[in-house]
Amino acid sequence: MKKGMLLMFTMMIVTSLLGIHITPVQAADQYDTIRDKWKVMLTGGTGISITDTDIAAKITAITNQASTWQSSIVRTSTRYQVWNDLGYRYDTANITKHYQRIRDMALAYSTTGSSLYGNASLKTDILDALETVYTQKYNETFVKSGASGWYDLEIGAQLPFLDTLSLMYSDLATAYPDRLTKYLSALEYFASYDDGTGTLVSDPGKYGNGGYISTAANLAWKCEVEAKRGIITKDSAAIQEGVSKISGIYDYIDGTGADDGFFTDGSFIQHHYFAYNGGYGNAMLSTAATMFYLFNGTAWDVMNSVNTVYDADYVHVFEWVLNGYKPFIYKGDMMPMVMGRDISRYSNDNHYRGHNVISNVVRLVQSAPTAYNADFKSLIKYWIQQDTYSSFYQDAGTSVWTITNAKSIVSSAASLIASEFYSQFANMDKAVAFRSNFALGISMFSNRTKPFESINGENKKGWHLSDGMTYLYNADLGQFSGDYWPTIDSYRLPGTTVEQASEPAGNQGSKSWVGGASLQGTYGVSGMQLKPSGQTLNANKSWFVFDDEIVALGSGITSTDGKTIETIVENRKLNSSGNNALTVGGTAKSTTLGWNESMSNVTWVHLAGSVSGSDIGYYFPGGTSLNGLREQRSGLWNDINTNSAFQTSGTRTNNFLTLWMDHGVDAASKNSYSYVLLPGMTSSQVSSYANNPAITILENSTDAAAVKETALGLTGITFWNDINKTVGGITSNKKAAVMMKETSSDLEISVSDPTNANTSAIQLELAQSAASVLTADPRITVTQLSPTIKLAVNVSGGLGRSFSVKFSKGTSATTTIVDDSNASITYSGSWTHTSDANFYNATKSVTGTTTVAGTGKATYTFTGTTVRVYAKKLAGGGMVDVKVDGVSRGTFDTYSSTDVYKAKVFELTGLTSGSHTIELSMNASHNSSATAYYFGFDYFEYVN
């Protein structure tokens, strides 16, 4: 049988088995309506303003790209590929690239205002290209092997292929319905897997020919493919399958089941160990936004409670934006520390990826509930307007439809007032702080994560990305863009402590102490016990984020690998001339590239920024030895990414200023460090700060790191060990991160278990007293207010979250005695009320007998934060149960071998300010030494 006939026969069998058949165009139905909505989302529709400069520029770019592809088409009748540069016939990445280029041409053909709109020659080339790729590459004779090439075959090629079918649907369904049928058959073939019996099973919850489980972004993509294929084929079951199974991505990860997806704190993990909000997480956001938009108002709308596909957890997608994206986008720039291996892709500039998120939120806002709509629009407006480095509207990834809708939002939305905050992302070992003129990102790893992902030839120099790298953002919005990654010295990333020129493997960490605590959502402390894979290097690293300063401490730096240990204070990209002014202790250093100097007794440094508002100061408490290097560095993107899908040519060059501390071989000469980052300060301001610093380092040892910010009354501590340790007037019995703020009237303390391994409580004691508890997390129990404050923090299952309590230091507390005879006390059961001069106010209330416990209860409601019970203790004293606000507070014993009057038998402190009810009731038992069951009640006492 000839090859062509064999292919046709195979296609007929598979098409028949899969039940796919496209009939010629008929009257419009709901599927056509959704498909038209999809097409408008791709092209902008017919109502776009082609005179708008940004839209006109985008249409020109679309036209030029299509023209480039069209002009380079192979035009021989025996071609195996449409473009010669797309190489080997069955290379799956090249199959994806083919469909991407065909989509580019179809987009120009379908976009109003393009000179190629409706172009007959282009139409012919598009249809012929689809036929060539199907016949030569992407058909049912392709033998799938396990998970080999699965992404391209099932997602990478399918999404642009489906977009093309949506754009060209009328042309195909009218003139070539049989082609459309076989294309859709191929799509389903590649989306299916062999169940082991030779039967093809289509299940978006599985991938590869082995039916491997899809999770998070991969599940989202697979479901988007399934639903979109259902739109084209007008298959309600396929749409239902895609929409229903994507619901799995809406669930939050809780640490006990699946480990890919979003956590409630905004952390996103993919591939089990890697922070990927800006990569896979963004893809998941994109898919959710697309599905919400396309199926809004239909029977497949998951937000409509009357539909069978309804899932109340859809609201989590909107929470992702506020918790998982707002903290990681600084004026349009997506922080690289949550982009995974994508940072090594030349086409994935941080602003490009940030703009991609903005585009997704623009799409998401079209179906956003009222509770989110206005906030999202203000956020979109802020991100777009604040990005002065790269225009959102002119970004290659921003579509005409997105430009149109984004401009409408920007023109009408309320302006966002930028907030200052500190967020700890305990589930992916990152921390972020935003201030009015800067932002800070801290990248760490633990035994719960891995430091970097390097697969498929990508991110080949990611060795130290999570060794405490600090990303300091300011007005220089291009700092981490503009070919930063192929030119930065990957051995010396800012904030890291490293073995010189080392390349540790990206294995899962061995240390659990990684995390921190946030206070009032504004201040925070982060820490990590660093232990790179394959090295003996150990270091305790802490960062204390106050208002306009960040204190970095390191202790316990040790190694036996025979390597020089360095702590990199800074590695800053400079201006194009590399001549940013550097001042060290008042002395201007050389601005010539190649300057290299070892300096001693350095107390402060100032580096002039490349743009106004981007100066940075550095303060070194007590002085330090410091090395400086000003250099020009060159590199290739291909040095850090050899994947065929992301190749580009050309040497890239940038200038850098590096500052580092040399700890000596195996840190023999210096096993600790301390420095303070002072963003936005001028040289004179840094000098003044160094002469009168606002911070005091309380301790920097292997037991604890602690800093006090005197102006704000803030104290931050990282307790490194499970021992009773006191520093700064705070004692902890366990490993903990603590931040406290004290004013003249109150104090607030926040605590976390950064190890995420403590299954009990952290016991804290503060060396001062308080009058009352103002607010407290339910996990915090205050056991004492005076003479010291004692509290227990239940951190079991807390996933590294911070728990806080606020105390009043008030000096005007009043103590009130409520005698047993007070009419406000409610008595029930058997009581005897008599006079007795030994009792307060000469009255007593007694319940119980010599042989049987009394049935008496006494209840009283008071307003206060402390309550006490006084009674007579005697040889015949019984036991009494106590409840406060309906919650059991234990049992007290009134037995004593001798009579004791006005004895304090119960005290409860730490109640929140307000009304409380105490209830006393006899217990059925008594002390084994007691001779009876009496309870001689005297009075209550409460403190307000």
Taking CA atoms, 805 is separated from 99, 545, 751, 773, in Å, by 57, 20, 9, 7
656 DSSP assignment: E
* SS percent in the chain: helix, strand, coil, step 5: 30, 30, 40
DSSP secondary structure, 722-745, as one string: SS-EEETTEEESSSEEEEEEE-SS
What angle separates helix 216-233 from helix 158-167, to the nearest 10 degrees?
A: 30
**Pair 479, 573: CB distance under 8 Å:** yes
Query: Of 280, 393, 523, 689, which one is the catalytic site residue?
Result: 280
Query: Of 101, 103, 229, 271, which one is the catalytic site residue?
Result: 271
| Residue 179 amino acid letter | R
Does a cis peptide bond (omega within 30 degrees of 0) precede residue 787? yes
Neighbours of 287 (CB within 10 A): 25
597 forms bridges with which residues in the sheet? 628
Kindly give the residue spans of alpha helices, DSSP state H, lying in 209-365.
216-233, 236-245, 280-295, 315-320, 350-365
Taking CA atoms, 908 is separated from 83, 340, 512, 905, in Å, by 80, 51, 36, 11
Nearest-5° Cα angle at 354, 350 to 358: 165
**Pair 474, 678: CB distance under 8 Å:** no
Structure tokens at 13: 């069998």
Coil, strand or helix at 213: strand
DSSP secondary structure, 331-381, as one string: TTEEPGGGSGGGGG-TT--HHHHHHHHHHHHHHHHTT--HHHHHHHHHHHH
**Pair 869, 920: CB distance under 8 Å:** yes
| Residue 491 amino acid letter | Y
User: For this structure, is 633 an active site residue?
Assistant: no
Task: List the strands of the sheet with 714-719, edge to edge.
Answer: 695-700, 704-709, 714-719, 736-742, 746-752, 802-808, 772-776
User: For this structure, is 916 an active site residue?
Assistant: no
Distance between CA 62 and CA 44 in Å, rounded?
Answer: 12
| Phi-psi region at 495: left, alpha or beta (left = phi > 0; alpha = psi -120 to 50) | left
Structure tokens at 730: 């705070």
Coil, strand or helix at 105: helix
Whose tokens are 């021989």? That residue is: 76
| Residue 548 amino acid letter | D
Buried b (16+ CB within 10 A) or exposed e, 493-519: bbbbbbbeebebebeebebbbbbbbbb
Q: State the distance between the two ends of the chain, measured CA to CA, in whole angstroms.
A: 96
Name the burial class of residue 449, with classes exposed (0-12), middle (13-18) and buried (19+) by CB atoms within 10 angstroms of its CB: buried
Which residue from 856, 779, 769, 848 is spatially nearest to 811, judged by alpha carbons?
769
Query: Of 341, 448, 868, 916, which one is the catalytic site residue?
Result: 341
**Pair 666, 563: CB distance under 8 Å:** yes
Element of type H or E holding 683: helix 683-691
Which residue from 163, 212, 197, 131 is spatially nearest to 43, judged by alpha carbons?
163
Name the burial class of residue 415, with classes exposed (0-12), middle (13-18) and buried (19+) by CB atoms within 10 angstroms of its CB: exposed
Structure tokens at 294: 């396309």
Distance between CA 472 and CA 7 in Å, rounded?
Answer: 58
Nearest-5° Cα angle at 740, 735 to 744: 155
Distance between CA 379 and CA 419 in Å, rounded?
Answer: 11
User: For this structure, is 310 an active site residue?
Assistant: no
Q: Could you give the residue numbers annotated as active site?
A: 271, 280, 341
